[in-house]
Structure 1
Amino acid sequence: MTHLPRFTRSLLHPRYWLTWFGIAALYLVVLLPYPVIYRIGCGLGFLAKRILKRRVKIAHRNLELCFPEMSEAERQRHVDGNFRSVGMGVMETGMAWFWPDWRMKRWCDVSGVNEIRALQAEKRGILLIGLHFLTLELGARIFGIHTPGIGVYRPNDNPVIDWLQTWGRTRSNKSMLDRKDLKGMIRALKNGEIIWYAPDHDYGPRNSVFAPLFAVEQAATTPGTWMLAKTTKASIVPFVPRRKPDGKGYELIILPPENNPPLGSPEETAAWMNKIVEKCIMMAPEQYMWLHRRFKTRPEGAPSLY
């Protein structure tokens, strides 16, 4: 059972004052009109690209590995756009945590909700596939406004951020589960709940099988999708929260449910899941989180890709 963080007086200790200052600044910024927020976010991304040199190299390398046919000029355009999304991701986190529902609905279009409600009417559990887009926080908030579910998360090392992100994410969703709480996930899915689940990160050699992802033949991929789908018979529903161009708002695209995934082995399911991951990423490639070392874990004896 996951115990969610609660607000206590210890969070007001002077050691956290700088964190609270940053939170207050973000809160004030997201009170501004959205077109202004958009310009600030893009500007912040421009600055981040000049400061986070190591992350720029990782983004370049990931794009090179996934799309070897891409020209250097095109790759550079993707990285530039990706860092604009990094800056906007900070703004969108504040929007997700602090905006009222009416303001979220004003700037966000949603498609595919009826399919979710039909599955809920059948009392079927839903494994909601939410990738690590930079719009991640905003997407979870938008989805929860229409069909609340349960999020899966990694507790933050900073207790103030841990409390705030939990508070923000449960504004329009039911609860949160630690990503290690597999029993909690299984229980919720068997009870017909929606579980937000991200299968697109590298979770290390102990928690991975290897499957193709774009041009990388052996990408470390979680076997969790196989285990959860096989155990609970949940419907698998991918969704993409996508920022519209030029500060025109957002669209949340819920893809058709996958009710009969291949479950012959963890590797088979991982390869199938990675095809869905590819499809989702290509719906908003510059908004994906290319900054982490997605291909850090390698098969035994294989050289590092970074």
Structure 2
Amino acid sequence: MQLLAYVLTYPFLWCISMLPFRALYIFSDIICFFVYRVFGYRKQTVRKNLAIALPHLSEQQRRDVERKFFTHMCDMFLEMIKTMNITDKQIKERFVFTNEEVIHEYERKGKSVALLCAHYASWEWLVVMAKYTTFRSIAIYKKIGNKYFDSLVRRIRSRLNAELVESKKSIELIQYNNQQGIKAFYGFASDQSPQLSKAKYWDQFMGLEVPVHTGAEMLAKKLDLNVLFCKVEKVKRGYYKATLMPLVDNPKVVPDYEITSIYLREVEKQILEAPEYYFWTHNRWKHSGKKKATDKTIGVPSL
């Protein structure tokens, strides 16, 4: 069944990827009408999340954020499909680093880097960073259930010189690279919710105490990785800019969980600046109020 689903879907995805951008966004508007107006995909989850995270906004203001979010979400997923056939010139024009020199500055430091980002704006096109660095560029991700689509996503990323590694295999790979002296930028989108059973640390996120992923910090401290935060902003439809923000250069001396907390504060700033570009369909605050006794040391990863 997995192969059948892939064979039936792939030609449709390929045709979408060949659309010029103007036609792509017209198609996105059509899809958004059905997703938002007709089917109401996860609309209640989005509304609940917006009410939790943005209580300072009026209901009408949150509805405005909601509508803009669904438009952006459809754009983003079609942009992800467009990556199948996008040219280097196109993606470099549409996803720009405001301070590319930071990439080379951290290469000269001679240590691998934990690059923290959020599910905000276009985390998919962030992999174009691989075109700008001599280090390996590796994104930590959750494997797709359909192995054929998972292979497709890997092939798409490889076109941009980026590699994907499953979260459950990432520790072994990063440790191996460290032992072999292989330098890399490791991308972590760590803002979503871990399984409650694996939660090792809780922190405030948009006003509520929630469990948070700590794997990036754990690996940075254990393997002495420099830590950067990538702030992505949507300039206009189909165009983004990213700013690399140094967080920690000597993680071993930083108190446990402080790196994770600093990262969350940066994510919050992003959300408050333009909330319509955050990924609101994820039930991020589902474990709020369920805190139990947790370990207070960074010994077990939560990727």
Specify if TM > 0.5: yes
Q: Hey, what does 2:23 align to over in structure 1?
A: 36
Q: Hey, what does 1:271 align to over in structure 2?
A: 261
Shift of 1:97: 2.8
Q: Hey, what does 1:202 align to over in structure 2?
A: 193
Name the CA distance, whole Å, in 1 between partners of 2:243 and 2:226: 13
Q: Hey, what does 2:241 align to over in structure 1?
A: 252
Name the CA distance, whole Å, in 1 between partners of 2:232 and 2:79: 11
Higher mean Cα deviation, 167-176 or 185-194?
185-194
Q: Hey, what does 2:129 align to over in structure 1?
A: 143
Name the CA distance, whole Å, in 2 between partners of 1:154 and 1:234: 22
| One-letter amino acid of the counterpart of residue 98, structure 2 | S
Q: Hey, what does 1:4 align to over in structure 2?
A: none
Shift of 1:232: 2.0
Higher mean Cα deviation, 41-50 or 185-194?
185-194
Name the CA distance, whole Å, in 2 between partners of 1:130 and 1:95: 22
- Aligned partner of residue 153 in structure 2, secondary structure: helix
Q: Hey, what does 1:63 align to over in structure 2?
A: 50
Identity of aligned residues (%): 20
With over 3 angstroms needed to count, the CA separation of the structure-2 counterparts of 1:50 and 1:19, relative to structure 1, is farther
Query: Are 1:214 and 2:201 matched, yes or no?
Result: no
Q: Contact 1:186 / 1:231 at 8 angstroms: preserved in 2?
A: no
Name the CA distance, whole Å, in 1 between partners of 2:192 and 2:291: 21
Candidates 281, 284, 297, aligned match of 1:291: 281
Shift of 1:292: 0.8
Name the CA distance, whole Å, in 2 between partners of 1:242 and 1:19: 33
Could you list the runs of 5+ residues in structure 1 that have no partner in the other structure?
1-13
Name the CA distance, whole Å, in 1 between partners of 2:229 and 2:274: 14
Query: Are 1:175 and 2:163 matched, yes or no?
Result: yes
Alignment of 1:87-106 (within 5 A): 87-106=74-93
Q: Contact 1:226 / 1:263 at 8 angstroms: preserved in 2?
A: no
Q: Hey, what does 1:165 align to over in structure 2?
A: 153
Name the CA distance, whole Å, in 1 between partners of 2:10 and 2:202: 39
Shift of 1:229: 1.9
Q: Hey, what does 2:103 align to over in structure 1?
A: 116
Name the CA distance, whole Å, in 1 between partners of 2:84 and 2:177: 24
Give the structure-1-normalised TM-score.
Answer: 0.84
Aligned positions, number: 284
Name the CA distance, whole Å, in 2 between partners of 1:196 and 1:296: 25
